Chain A
Amino acid sequence: MIIEIKDLRFSYHEHHPALEGVSLEVERGERVALVGPNGAGKTTLLQHLNGILRGEGEIRIDGDILSDETLDIIRGKVGFLFQSPDDQLFSPTVYHDAAYGPVYQGLAAEEVEERVSDALEKTGMEALRDAAPYHLSVGEKKRAALATVLSMRPDILALDEPTSGLDPRGKRELVELLGEMPQTIVAATHDLAIIPKLFPRMVIMEAGRIVHDGWSEDILKDRALLARHGLA
């Protein structure tokens, strides 16, 4: 069990409860899609995985309980891809952005170089290693953002709407890329089309709760179920 969430509750402020008792278990290597209408709490839940948000309840990542002491270790284990790649690209070159994670961890220069090159290669961004993120296309930015996260060698990838803003080719490329990733993946997505290829398991959220958790294959065939939860 690489992710264990027990009865997670969170409110942004007094009258805005976002998560009302969420429990979830994810095995190492699993790929889970979080779906649901806007406001269901998908992004909120994802952001608890690496401690961006801190709610009530217990969260265990790879055996460690998420707390003030384990926060920085867990951040290294969960690679978070933000919905807008612009949020996480802030360096002069793609290389520098990808290097941030390993450099922060205090790794030696050679180690940093190795990890960054590896990450750039895996995302097909080697050719653009010295490019300014400013000039990249949306698809390239998405891949660069992924590289910034892969360079930390995380065990888990938390993806927030990974295909949003991508054209069909960009989507295809990203889906192929993700398909090759060995990590455990939890992704929040509106895009049901990418689920069959990538995510055998689907978790449906609504109003801060998990309302269904099962095999994607079954759920996607169940039109009534999908309609009931605002997914079709």
Chain B
Amino acid sequence: MHAPVPMHIPDGFLSITTSVLFWIFSAIVLFFALRKSEEILSDKKIPLMGVMAAAIFAGQMLNFAVTGGTSGHLLGAALAVIMVGTWPAVIVMASVVIVQALMFQDGGLVVMGANLFNMAVVGVFTANFIYSIFSRLYKHKKWALTAAAFAAGWASVFIASLSAGLQLAVSGTSPANIAIPAMAGIHALIGVGEGLITAGAAALVLKARPDLIDREELSGEDQKWVVTAGIVLSLLLVIISPLASSRPDGLEFVAERLGFMIRAQEPAFEIIPDYVLPGPLSSALATVAAGVIGIIIVAGLALAASKMSSKG
């Protein structure tokens, strides 16, 4: 149909294990995001998220000529965050990913968990933490918000692409030293387009409806933990990626380096006993599992903390 940012992984490109893992994790985050969105938006939730999901989908058709016949497009994770806030943005982006995969063959169905993770979780959380930090640092000066939008747009695309590259590498579809740099390199460029478009959008909204951008939600207490989770996630991806990119078996290499950490926590990982998985797979898997479990722990802490702070 249309060609948005080329980050949608098709079916057959990820191993079943990777697909299942990311399905589980994305499902958890989505369920949680759904509940949070309900809290935040109350009975406006369906019209707001439904219409905005359609808007982001339509927005992905807006393009600008780059060179030759190519054009730049929008992914929209950062834009969604700016317009409706983090948790609704997760649902909005997830809806876009689901409809694109199901009805327009942009992205696979078996691997949708991974695509949801990249675009609706990583993309959104990264955009949020950058936008929040940037805009708060400069106390909402007009130019700062536009710059923040640019940075959020670029980072959301770039870091999401790292996640995609890692997924491809972990699945053995492509060697780590190709998949990660390829995705990262291409999307570092594409991210510039995303940043510019997001900034242009922010500038217009700022001019016409500044009240929409300057939402209190951005300075709420809750945000601290969401921002932290975003930072942790991005850091993990940004650290693992170049390490893994150094060689084709990059992830096993990284896993070995982290091996001492894993062995020290062996009892926890007995839950996935070695004999269930073939040997070479388990170390790469352990890396991924470690990261995912770490994120779940952080997210769980964030959940717990936000529940406590909102009750207090």
Name A residues whose Cβ lies closer than 8 Å to a Cβ of B.
Answer: 91-93, 132-135
Q: Is the CB of B204 within 8 A of A91?
A: yes
In the complex, which residues 197-215 of chain B have their Cβ closer than 8 Å to any Cβ of chain A? 203-204, 207-209
Kindly state the separation between the CA atoms of A135 and B204 in the bound complex, as whole angstroms.
Answer: 12
Q: Is the CB of A134 within 8 A of B203?
A: no
* Chain A, Cβ-Cβ closest to B200: A92
List 8 tightest A-B contacts by C-beta distance, closest first.
A134-B208, A132-B208, A92-B207, A92-B204, A132-B207, A92-B203, A135-B208, A93-B207
Q: How many A-B residue pairs have CB under 8 A?
A: 13
Kindly state the separation between the CA atoms of A160 and B208 in the bound complex, as whole angstroms.
Answer: 27
- 12 intermolecular pairs with C-beta atoms under 8 Å apart: A91-B204, A92-B203, A92-B204, A92-B207, A92-B208, A93-B207, A132-B204, A132-B208, A133-B208, A134-B208, A134-B209, A135-B208
Name B residues whose Cβ lies closer than 8 Å to a Cβ of A.
Answer: 203-204, 207-209
Kindly state the separation between the CA atoms of A135 and B209 in the bound complex, as whole angstroms.
Answer: 9
Contacting residues, chain B, for A134 (C-beta < 8 A): 208-209
Kindly state the separation between the CA atoms of A132 and B205 in the bound complex, as whole angstroms.
Answer: 10
Kindly state the separation between the CA atoms of A92 and B203 in the bound complex, as whole angstroms.
Answer: 7
Beyond known contacts A92-B203, A132-B208: 11 more, CB 8 A cutoff = A91-B204, A92-B204, A92-B207, A92-B208, A93-B207, A132-B204, A132-B207, A133-B208, A134-B208, A134-B209, A135-B208
**B180 → chain A closest CB, angstroms:** 37
**A68 → chain B closest CB, angstroms:** 14
**A144 → chain B closest CB, angstroms:** 14
* Chain A, Cβ-Cβ closest to B209: A134
Contacting residues, chain B, for A135 (C-beta < 8 A): 208
Kindly state the separation between the CA atoms of A203 and B232 in the bound complex, as whole angstroms.
Answer: 68
Contacting residues, chain B, for A132 (C-beta < 8 A): 204, 207-208
Contacting residues, chain A, for B208 (C-beta < 8 A): 92, 132-135
* Chain B, Cβ-Cβ closest to A133: B208
Contacting residues, chain B, for A92 (C-beta < 8 A): 203-204, 207-208
Kindly state the separation between the CA atoms of A135 and B208 in the bound complex, as whole angstroms.
Answer: 7
**B207 → chain A closest CB, angstroms:** 4
**A136 → chain B closest CB, angstroms:** 10
Kindly state the separation between the CA atoms of A92 and B202 in the bound complex, as whole angstroms.
Answer: 10
**A35 → chain B closest CB, angstroms:** 33
Kindly state the separation between the CA atoms of A134 and B208 in the bound complex, as whole angstroms.
Answer: 6
**A143 → chain B closest CB, angstroms:** 18
* Chain B, Cβ-Cβ closest to A135: B208
Kindly state the separation between the CA atoms of A93 and B203 in the bound complex, as whole angstroms.
Answer: 11
**B211 → chain A closest CB, angstroms:** 12
